[in-house]
């Protein structure tokens, strides 16, 4: 049987990789993908705790996380398309119109 710690370490590793990608990459779409990695890492934690505590609340919660991820991606990619129409780049360092 796999101990719970293994799942938590997997989840923490994936979350760290997602944060690394968000901090390091400059392509807006790849940054979105890294956010998806982070959401997935959280789902692993929720479902693992669910299994080890014999409850199903965490599965409902990760269902909601998937819903929010879908909403976030559709709106985010629409924003990327709208930005691309104004200025043909997805480089996040060049999109600094609202920077103070």
Partner 1 sequence: MELLIFYPLALVSVGLALGVVLNKNPIGSAVCLIGMMLGLAAVFVLLQAHFLAILQILIYAGAIMVLFMFVIMLLNLRDDDKIWKVRERNIWLSSLTGAMMVGVLYKIIDIIAGAEFNAPAKVPDEFGTVEMVGTALFTDFVLPFEVASILLLAAMVGSVVLAKSKVD
What is the C-alpha separation between 84 and 18, in angstroms, rounded? 24
Min dist. Cβ of residue 35 to partner 1 (A) = 11
Pick between residue 8 and residue 98 the one whose CB is nearest to partner 1.
Answer: 8
Min dist. Cβ of residue 12 to partner 1 (A) = 4
Min dist. Cβ of residue 98 to partner 1 (A) = 16
What is the C-alpha separation between 84 and 100, in angstroms, rounded? 21
Q: What are phi and psi of 91, to 5 degrees?
A: -75, 120
Min dist. Cβ of residue 97 to partner 1 (A) = 16
Pick between residue 90 and residue 97 the one whose CB is nearest to partner 1.
Answer: 90
Let me know: does 38 contact 18? Beta carbons within 8 Å: yes
Q: What are phi and psi of 3, to 5 degrees?
A: -70, 155
Which residue's structure tokens are 């559709």? 74
């Amino acid at each position: 049987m796999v101990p719970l710690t293994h799942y938590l370490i997997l989840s923490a590793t994936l979350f760290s990789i997602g944060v690394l990608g968000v901090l390091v990459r400059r392509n807006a779409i790849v940054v979105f993908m890294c956010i998806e990695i982070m959401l997935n890492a959280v789902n692993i934690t929720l479902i693992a705790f669910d299994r080890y505590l014999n409850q199903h609340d965490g599965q409902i919660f990760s269902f909601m996380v998937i819903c929010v991820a879908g909403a976030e991606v559709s709106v985010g990619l629409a924003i990327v398309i709208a930005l691309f129409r104004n200025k043909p780049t997805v480089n996040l360092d060049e999109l600094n119109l609202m920077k103070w």
